[in-house]
Structure 1
């Protein structure tokens, strides 16, 4: 493809010369180590590395042209300066891969909590009822039934466009993070439908304020196709604000909530066997969630509302919802031989903890023992709220290490001890090693008790633990099979 076609709608500092415009480009990359003959290399300044420092490497590996933000250096190949390399990468990928979002139904889901569960529910509902569905998100990417490992909730723009172009499925369901929006990873993609699940205290270390966090999430809805629809949970105050803003712009908005003014009005919530009555246009339908928890009822209704608008009948939804197998690391329950129930969940905000712990309570737990921690180098302002929720709902809690990142083990342990002491709650103890914390929780539980392990879901541990396991699930399995092990406390 000619460079002028790849840079369609891209603002360059100077107009392309005729030689540059007609230059043939065989591929695009922002990774100098992946450059092959004839590629366009786009230099991006990242947190730890700057692509501009690797321009010579790209040239040596055969790059045909370079794009960057810095003033044009003296190079042996064409260099095009742009204001924003990340944005340019997205538009170049869109043009190179032929604008793939126009060729299929694309559904984007954003919000603090519920993105993954709702996306898996949608994939299930579509595929059980005759529509093939690609999935792009936190746990994994699934394209044409091929499972592709996921590194970020929303992949890089280049990866995202490659996946969209590769997909031969009828529908693509995509989780969209605020980081992904801010870093132009979804730039240029047009959506048939965008969902807003909720907005809670999270990522303020990145966005600064809840208002800025909200504004970034709202950008997704500017990328709806001409006849696109927004489906919004208005039980959330930020969702109600978003719905009002979009209606003022003339966007088609489907609201979901308990207020009678909502398009989908919800009533008669049942927690024990999760179900809710949905009223739409005067007609009532009972929607049963295949997962525990009121929060999952909302996820289920969001998926219900979306699938119905894209070709799945209400009868089909009702028939196939009970067949949903759940999502790994999202309220994933294991019944132990001694009568204890263990739940592994990704919850890492105060709201998510509340929903997770109350869901366990609704199932008749005798006692709740909660194991959790806080990630190093992440939003510290949410920690007290998380601890408060656990101390109120659980019977006992164990603070332990989550991903430390650049924080030392001793520093995080000190932080946990200080939080526990300053909170003044006798329910809690600190067990730094995560595997031993889980072991202690299980060994100190009795039949009818529930052990709730939150924060990581299916993620692998980033640091070595004493029981030499690699995840919360592996730790639970090991303890279950080796009950003779005892914590070294």
Structure 2
């Protein structure tokens, strides 16, 4: 890529030792460690590091030019000063990789809960009908059938564009996080379909208020292609607000909800044993037998159906694909012990998600519910009280334990768990800091027809060591089943 005409409207000024028209850029990075000969280095002011402090290192490694926000005059290579490096990084990456999102059917899914399940439902339906599909989200990045470990739900700008450019798949499904939107990781990316699932209390350590959280989520819908479609859950108050805003801007919308006025109406459903959903689109009604229980999953299925209907798939094949959906690792992932105890691993990490998970267990006939969960260190602390409150209302016994400590110290988190436990009825549960021993205790207490719900981590691996030689909730369950007589 020749370094010329780069986002002219964003440039404050250029200080150069040569003609920009003759500089060929061989790569782009915002990490000085990745710089190679001929690279363009974009200096971004991050939360832990400031890229401007590494400009000298980038030049030493062979950078041909630098973009940054600071007023710098004395570099030995061209320096392009801009107002917002993060935003410019996305625009430059789009140009360097040839605007890859324009060559795909792009589906972006945002909201607090449901993004991963909808993504995998859609992927299953599409692939069953011969449509190749990439998925970029929380669990992994799946490109051309190859699975890559996910570092963030929404990857950084350069990684995202490189993945899209690498993909030979017809459709790309993306989970879009509020952090990704706020940090301009999707700058330059355009979507054919954008989905809004719901909005609940989460990430307020980052956004501050629910209104700010909503405004950031809404940014996704500004990235629709000219004829793109916004698919919205209007049974959620924030979804209703989004619809009103988009309708005012004359954006194409497709509404999902229980009202007969919706484009896709949920007119009947059953969420426990043999769950199903009855949908009406225009004057046509379809019944879909769901592979996953729970009211939240009927909405997930409705969204998957709504999007798939816009693609070249026969309705009967679409329904069959949903009926045969095998589920998602760590999303209401269920095991059954020899003693007749049902054990569920679920990623639920908000009060609303916990509510739906525990409510589903009750609807499925749980005699007693044991709920094991903790809190991420260094994350939104304002939702902890509400999560414990919901668990107390719906479970027979809650066991507070550790999740990832991150920046919080062990003693600090244990003190917090004991404080939260002390504020709720005595005899309702306990604090067992070791996560593996908390799971073991619940299994030992459980009897036939009891349900053990383990939330927070889903399929993720532990970041610290515990007493049992396991590194995930699933490994802990399997280990305890294999060694129950020892």
1:104 aligns with 2:104: yes
| 1:419-471 C-alpha deviation (Å, 9 max, x unpaired) | 11122342121001111101101111012111100000011111111113111
| 1:131-158 C-alpha deviation (Å, 9 max, x unpaired) | 1000000000011111111100000010
| 1:4-42 C-alpha deviation (Å, 9 max, x unpaired) | 15x245611115867023311111111111111101011
Kindly indicate whether the alpha-carbon contact (under 8 Å) linking 1:391 and 1:425 is maintained by their aligned counterparts in 2: no
Kindly indicate whether the alpha-carbon contact (under 8 Å) linking 1:137 and 1:174 is maintained by their aligned counterparts in 2: yes
1:315 aligns with 2:316: yes
Give the distance between the partners of 1:10 and 1:310, measured in 2 at CA: 37
SS in 1 for 2:365: coil
1:241 aligns with 2:241: yes
Give the distance between the partners of 1:197 and 1:287, measured in 2 at CA: 19
SS in 2 for 1:154: coil
Give the distance between the partners of 2:10 and 2:269, measured in 1 at CA: 52
SS in 1 for 2:98: coil
| 1:85-129 C-alpha deviation (Å, 9 max, x unpaired) | 111111110000111111110000000000000001111111111
Kindly indicate whether the alpha-carbon contact (under 8 Å) linking 1:8 and 1:95 is maintained by their aligned counterparts in 2: no
Give the distance between the partners of 2:284 and 2:212, measured in 1 at CA: 38
Counterpart residue number, 1:47 = 47
Kindly indicate whether the alpha-carbon contact (under 8 Å) linking 1:72 and 1:80 is maintained by their aligned counterparts in 2: no
Give the distance between the partners of 1:25 and 1:378, measured in 2 at CA: 39
Q: Please give the residue correspondences for 1:356-435 in structure 2 after superposition, counting only pairs within 5 Å.
A: 356-435=357-436
Counterpart residue number, 2:38 = 38
Kindly indicate whether the alpha-carbon contact (under 8 Å) linking 1:29 and 1:35 is maintained by their aligned counterparts in 2: yes
Counterpart residue number, 1:14 = 13
SS in 1 for 2:423: helix
Give the distance between the partners of 2:26 and 2:131, measured in 1 at CA: 33
- Measured on the aligned residues, the alpha-carbon RMSD in Å equals 1.3
SS in 2 for 1:309: coil
1:337 aligns with 2:338: yes
| 1:35-78 C-alpha deviation (Å, 9 max, x unpaired) | 11101011112122121111121111111111111111422211
Query: 1:484: Cα distance to partner?
Result: 3.4
Runs of 4+ in 1 over 3 A off after TM superposition: 15-18
Q: TM-score, normalization: structure 2?
A: 0.97
SS in 1 for 2:181: helix
Q: Please give the residue correspondences for 1:65-464 in structure 2 after superposition, counting only pairs within 5 Å.
A: 65-272=65-272, 273-464=274-465
Give the distance between the partners of 1:479 and 1:10, measured in 2 at CA: 61
SS in 2 for 1:14: strand
Give the distance between the partners of 2:282 and 2:426, measured in 1 at CA: 49
Give the distance between the partners of 2:150 and 2:389, measured in 1 at CA: 33
Aligned length: 484
Give the distance between the partners of 1:169 and 1:103, measured in 2 at CA: 10
| 1:169-223 C-alpha deviation (Å, 9 max, x unpaired) | 1100000000000000001111000000000000011000000000000010011
Kindly indicate whether the alpha-carbon contact (under 8 Å) linking 1:274 and 1:294 is maintained by their aligned counterparts in 2: no
| 1:393-442 C-alpha deviation (Å, 9 max, x unpaired) | 11111000111111111111111111111223421210011111011011
Kindly indicate whether the alpha-carbon contact (under 8 Å) linking 2:14 and 2:79 is maintained by their aligned counterparts in 1: no
Deviates more, 1:275-284 or 1:8-17: 8-17
Kindly indicate whether the alpha-carbon contact (under 8 Å) linking 2:15 and 2:78 is maintained by their aligned counterparts in 1: no
Kindly indicate whether the alpha-carbon contact (under 8 Å) linking 2:335 and 2:342 is maintained by their aligned counterparts in 1: yes
Identify unmatched segments of 5+ residues in structure 2: none
Give the distance between the partners of 1:274 and 1:364, measured in 2 at CA: 13
Give the distance between the partners of 2:485 and 2:65, measured in 1 at CA: 63
Deviates more, 1:349-358 or 1:463-472: 463-472
1:240–1:43 CA distance, 2 compared to 1 (3 A):
same
| 1:358-401 C-alpha deviation (Å, 9 max, x unpaired) | 11112111111000011111111111111111111111110001
1:10–1:423 CA distance, 2 compared to 1 (3 A):
farther
